[in-house]
Homo-oligomer: A and B are copies of this chain.
Amino acid sequence: MSYRAPVEEMAFTLRHVAGLDAVLTQGGHEMAPEDVTAILDEAGKLANGVIAPLNRAGDRHGATLQDGAVTTAPGWREAYRAFVDGGWNGLGATPEHGGQGLPHLMAAACTEMWNGANLSFGLCPLLTAGGIEALTAHGSADLKARYLGKLVSGEWTATMNLTEPQAGSDLALLRSRAEPIGDGRYRIVGSKIYITYGEHDLTDNIVHLVLARLKDAPAGTRGISLFLVPKVLPDGTRNDLRCSGLEHKLGIHASPTCSMAFGDAGGAIGWLIGEENRGLACMFTMMNSARLNVGLQGVGVAEAAYQHALAYARDRRQGRAPGAPETSAIVAHADVQRMLLTMKASTAAARGICYLTAQALDAADGPEGRAAFERASLLTPVAKAFATDIANEVTSLGVQVHGGMGFIEETGAAQLMRDARILGIYEGTNGIQAIDLVTRKLPLSGGATARAQIATMRRVAEGLLKDGSPGFGHAAARLRDGVCSLDRATSFLLTTLGSNHPDAALAGAAPYLRLFGLVQGAACLAQAGLASSAVLKAGDTDPACGARIALARFFTENLLPAAGGLEQAVIDGGAFVEDAAAVLAG
């Protein structure tokens, strides 16, 4: 199993779908297209040559726990060292703390690569990136000075300690406690589960960001505070916290998923991040960054599954394609082509959505400001859930392309499917993302944020009509139909949210998110196709351009037509909430 970062496609998507050039100009980055390609090429070398080769062995070895110490899989330490030495950890962080200060958009492309190469490995810096964001936005000057530099360099890593056995999606049920002990310090006591890289041997220190309740804090989510709790205290002594167990998981075996015990010996020492009882807001800074990055994990693993299946389909000979003189490689069979094109097109669509989201984050720092920030907020749940849903589908198709071999672990296709399965669950399940999209993001600016985004999709459909290249087939009509479905479903939900039956909006949340992702993804592929058509019309003959047009056609003609059914489910399907209790009682 060998992963190659699809640098050319990534660069094309960055420029022609997500508007990288404008982002660079606006951000004052002096970077020529060659510089962009050079960075992506270098990242690709590390991903392909150092990180990807560890993926299979990492699955077999996993991480191990002994006497409270976690040992990562063979090669992990060396790869992490190479990653940090290359300066990749702080790609998007501000130069003030030692980061490279590159746009979110460039960081997004690199995140896709690390995770396409190896989800278990990619998770570690993903968590650190979230910690950097939370600390940058909410940490005191003192905490920043002490921790930010080493997190940006990657000398230390960060974790998110949210979940407790009784508190998963519902953080209001948190029980971990914190008590001030003067000097701005707190004692933290509690148990956390599902802590990714909660303990490991990659670095000398680990910076835990921990949600806990102060004594007398209000009940529910308004009584939760966020603390920085380092494994090793500033004076060099070990803090009162330990890894009490590792989970036995379906996938990402090489990523240690820890149960953490804080304060067995009286209390772990921690420092408040942000204000007391405002911890959830701080954690959301971290979560939003992590949600986009989890979407990028989905893109990465889907790309890896596509490459893996394509290589097999080119090699495996079975049956004779119509008109073929002898046994064909299975890539020549229409049904296998449909599977591979579905994989490729779904991955490209999800990539487009994730990059658009990163672009909105970059634009939010510029003159577009609040509108761009709201766009990023709107797109984040779509990027997270759509990209990870298709990651499940694409990795499962990867198994299917392999036939019986796909079910045999040695092939590697099954690992990608097992690894991908967590993506739709962690950092807020995809059901939570759908509820977030419908109840919190659609209402932004009275619905204007969503309307504006839908208008950009409609303009792409109009562009297809104007372009008129026969290679697009029915793409223009299909995209127009899809946009109309999304538009009507959006109107329905906005009306319903304001009614006395908000349940009907919740009932339609999941199909609505899928609908949004499908149409937005189709618009991204069509945009790439239009840019390619312009290149061809200008006299160039790059075969990749023809392929992009064909891919847009495939997606709009074969996958996007699901939009109509999803619209019906959103608008007419919600009656089940009245009957569900009776049906599920049986």
Answer whether residue A473 sits at the interface, using C-beta atoms and an 8 A cutoff.
Answer: yes
CB pair A331–B584 under 8 Å, yes or no, is: yes
Contact of A409 among B249, B426, B435, B575 (CB under 8 A): B249
Number of copies: 2
For residue A553, which residues in chain B have a CB less than 8 angstroms away from its CB?
Answer: 575-576, 579
A residues apposed to B, CB below 8 Å: 9, 163, 166-170, 172-173, 193-194, 247-251, 310, 317-319, 322, 327, 331-341, 344, 392, 396, 399-400, 403-404, 406-410, 414, 417-418, 421-422, 424-426, 429-431, 434-435, 471, 473-474, 478, 502-503, 506-507, 509-511, 543-544, 546-547, 550-551, 553-554, 557-566, 568-569, 572-577, 579-586
For residue A581, which residues in chain B have a CB less than 8 angstroms away from its CB?
Answer: 332
For residue A575, which residues in chain B have a CB less than 8 angstroms away from its CB?
Answer: 473, 553, 557
CB pair A576–B564 under 8 Å, yes or no, is: no
CB pair A583–B425 under 8 Å, yes or no, is: no
CB pair B510–A335 under 8 Å, yes or no, is: yes
Rounded to whole Å, the gap between the CB of A402 and the closest CB of chain B is: 9
For residue A510, which residues in chain B have a CB less than 8 angstroms away from its CB?
Answer: 335, 338-339
CA distance A441 to B409 in the complex (A): 34
For residue A550, which residues in chain B have a CB less than 8 angstroms away from its CB?
Answer: 576, 579, 582-583
CB pair A418–B580 under 8 Å, yes or no, is: no
Q: Give the nearest-CB partner of A429 in chain B.
A: B403
CB pair B554–A327 under 8 Å, yes or no, is: no
Rounded to whole Å, the gap between the CB of A388 and the closest CB of chain B is: 11
Task: Give 9 new A-B contacts, CB below 8 A, not counting A550-B583, A561-B569.
Answer: A250-B417, A338-B510, A341-B583, A344-B584, A474-B572, A543-B585, A546-B582, A554-B573, A561-B566
A-B pairs with beta carbons under 8 Å apart, 6 shown: A163-B404, A249-B409, A333-B506, A335-B506, A547-B586, A553-B576
Rounded to whole Å, the gap between the CB of A257 and the closest CB of chain B is: 8
CB pair B564–A339 under 8 Å, yes or no, is: no
Rounded to whole Å, the gap between the CB of A438 and the closest CB of chain B is: 10
Known A-B contacts A335-B509, A573-B557, A579-B550; A403 and B418 likewise in contact (beta carbons under 8 Å): no
CB pair B421–A417 under 8 Å, yes or no, is: yes
CB pair A410–B318 under 8 Å, yes or no, is: no
Rounded to whole Å, the gap between the CB of A332 and the closest CB of chain B is: 8
CB pair A407–B249 under 8 Å, yes or no, is: yes
For residue A193, which residues in chain B have a CB less than 8 angstroms away from its CB?
Answer: 404
